[in-house]
Amino acid sequence: MMAGGGVRFLLLILTVAICGAASVFQPISDAHRSAALDVFVPVDGSYKSLEEAYEALKTLEILGIDKKSDLSSATCENVVKVLGSSSSTLKDAFYALNVNRILKCKIGDAGPKDVVSQLQAGVKDAKLLLDFYYSVRGLVLVKEQFPATDIILGDAEAIFRSIKALSQSDGRWRYSSNNPESSTFAAGLAYETLAGVISLAPSELDPSLIQTLKKGIVKLFDSIQKFDDGTFYFDEKSVDASQGPISTTASVIRGLTSFAASESTGLNLPGDKIVGLAKFFLGVGIPGDAKDFFNQIDALACLEDIKFSVPLILSLPSTVISLTKKEPLKVKVSTVLGSKAPALSVKLTQALSSKSVDSSVINNQELKFDTDSATYFLDSFPKNFDVGKYTFVFEILLDDSAHEKVYITEAQTKVPIAATGVISIENAEIAVLDSDIGSVQSQKKLDLTKDGAVSLSANHLQKLRLSFQLTTPIGNAFKPHQAFFKLKHESQVEHIYLVKTSGKKAELVLDFLGLVEKLYYLSGKYEIQLTIGDASMENSLLSNIGHIELDLPERPEKAPRPPQQSTEPYSRYGPKAEISHIFRIPEKLPAKQLSLVFLGIIVLPFIGFLIGLTRLGVNIKSFPSSTGSAISALLFHGGIGAVLLLYVLFWLKLDLFTSLKALSLLGVFLLFVGHRTLSQLAAASNKLKSA
């Protein structure tokens, strides 16, 4: 079982759940193949277990990486040992057969007779779902690898019903009849097992059993989880927290694809769910955990092997289009493992701008196809297509109607696109104004594409104005995501101001009369710097405009002083000074001897109580002798002892509220048994008097 499901689910949330309504999914690529060689690294030419060996070999086989020769010797030796032993566990035999299917170890044509007998006995005696799974799937592997071995489940229908008895009404399954909790992961194991029973049955099973099972699959899909980007996945609810969404979804896919592969089932899986499940595994990226890596690749391979529901994935080499370079929009369509797609056409139905989602810039534009690169492209855009963020909506149309029975596609695929370009910066100027009438005292034209050497001077009665215009390549107003104006004093004190944009014009006016306190009354030279940046702006800039000499009033005594500036600008990110906490000085305690004296004074009354009991001649002659009365008396005295013990615990460790709760319960108990005990004693006393 996979450990650390909570951590992996957290990573899943970080990598998939944060996606918006439109996401880009890429098929399996060389990046996965390179990562697989780092994740599945054998130790001294072998893996710790046959399970790990199978997962590594299966993953590398799907990715087309041949590492069999490096592992055959030591791993095959272990496989032969397990298959040749009648004492091997069902799990070991199952994984040994899986490894043998890949490595083709030299076992003999007759097949592992001892293991076959063990697997058949395992099917007969199985009570747990996992025992059914390892036994049945093991027999299926033997039948595939050793055709000479005659393997038939004579009582296949009875075995089918025994496994079906573990199903639940919500489509999930139990691991055993003694465990009432159900599991989605177990559902995948069950469907894979039942598919094996169908393939090993000597004749077709009762069709009503298959129909009942198909209804359970529909119920299982009712519990499927969904993200906003059309991604679907299965998750465990409570029974097995170690199974995360990746392993759970992979288990269900393996089970359903195995069950659907049997022609007698006639199972048709929902196309949108199949594409959503494929997108889930592609959206995970490259897992760093070997178990998750195997589940991802194996599940995608299962989806690609479905004869009637092979999902096609639309991907983009780049989601950024440069209008300056006149780059075309490129789209690729392939299977989840990157295999070539059948003949089809791709249509861009809509291009929705983030600024106006109601109107589309591009409508029903069919993309051209480049045979050499197997890429669909759009090499020209409308004149009103401008820089910004868009959501492109694509449709995939299969050319041959016969392929519609084999391949499935999304009805619409939404992809986020960023169009970038060079933003025109015009009419940039900086000026010093008089505060009273706003007349221009001095004004300089700016070229913000390069550093300048502007020299200005002003006093506290004047203003500084910076203005410029930003336009897109087609002449529309452009509002950048970031536009900051910075003044940096020669003492390294910095002041940053936001430049506001209205229409095509961006402007900032600084009134030094209202800023003298924030400038700490620091006269002297200030360096001027302007920063303009945006994801759609190819010519984002950081321009050193020049400097300004400010003549400010002297600082009043009570005015705040400027913060101390470090000589090292990046020291602010370094370790901070250690904070020394001053704790309260402990109060002086009395002498130890004095405490012991008071302890003795407290104990003296208890000693006097014991002496008094002996002087009074206390005895237990009146203790009830009958069974009922004796039990009540013992419970009453036991309750008193429990109260005394509670007092001791309160003194040592318990808090007041906990002690009061326990005392209230003991009080009710003592009230009941005490009243019963005293009533019985009174009745016994009345009998003696009457006698």
- Between 233-247, 323-337, 369-383, 657-671, the lowest mean confidence (pLDDT) is in 233-247
- The per-residue pLDDT for 321 is 94
Whether residue 684 has pLDDT greater than 90: no
pLDDT score recorded for residue 263: 62
At 240 the pLDDT is 55
- Distances in Å between the Cα of 291 and the Cα atoms of 52, 64, 348, 510, 690 are 8, 19, 38, 60, 85
Give the predicted TM-score (pTM) of the model.
0.71
Spatial neighbors of 211 by CB under 8 A, at least 6 apart, are none
Per-residue pLDDT band for 12 (boundaries 50, 70, 90) equals: very low
Axis-axis angle for helices 207-222, 184-200 (nearest 10) = 160
User: What is residue 14's predicted lDDT score, i.e. its pLDDT?
Assistant: 37
Q: What would the pLDDT profile of 390-426 be if each residue is shown by its tens digit? A: 999 999 999 998 888 889 998 899 999 999 999 999 9
| Dist. CA 238–CA 392, nearest whole Å | 39
Single out the residue of 639, 634, 638 nearest to residue 620, CA to CA. Answer: 634
Span 453-499, pLDDT tens digits: 899 999 989 999 999 999 999 999 999 999 999 999 998 899 999 99
The pLDDT of residue 111:
58
The b/e string for 510-533 (b: 16+ C-beta within 10 A; e otherwise) is: bebeebbeebbbbbeebebbbbbe
Q: Could you give the angle at the alpha carbon of 248 between the alpha carbons of 246 and 249, nearest 5°?
A: 65
pLDDT value at residue 260: 84
Sorted by sequence, the CB contacts under 8 Å of residue 269 that are 6+ apart come out as: 256, 260, 306, 309
Check residue 228 and give its pLDDT: 83
Single-letter amino acid, residue 352:
L
Mean of all residue pLDDT scores within the chain: 86
How many residues are recorded in the chain? 691
Q: What integer pLDDT is reported at residue 4 of this predicted model?
A: 42
* pLDDT average, residue stretch 336-340: 92
pLDDT at residue 6, rounded to an integer: 41
Q: How far apart are CA 296 and CA 25, in angstroms?
A: 14
Bridge-partner residues for 418, per DSSP? 320, 389
| Euclidean distance between CA atoms 170 and 383, whole angstroms | 55
Strands (DSSP E) found in 85-152? none
User: Is the C-alpha dihedral spanning 258, 259, 262, 266 positive or negative?
Assistant: negative
| Contact assessment for residue 422 and residue 388, using Cβ atoms and an 8 Å cutoff | no
Gyration radius of the chain's alpha carbons: 40
**What would the mean pLDDT of 187-200 be, rounded to a whole number?**
92
The single-letter DSSP state of residue 230 is: S
Tell whether the model's pLDDT for residue 234 goes beyond 90. Answer: yes
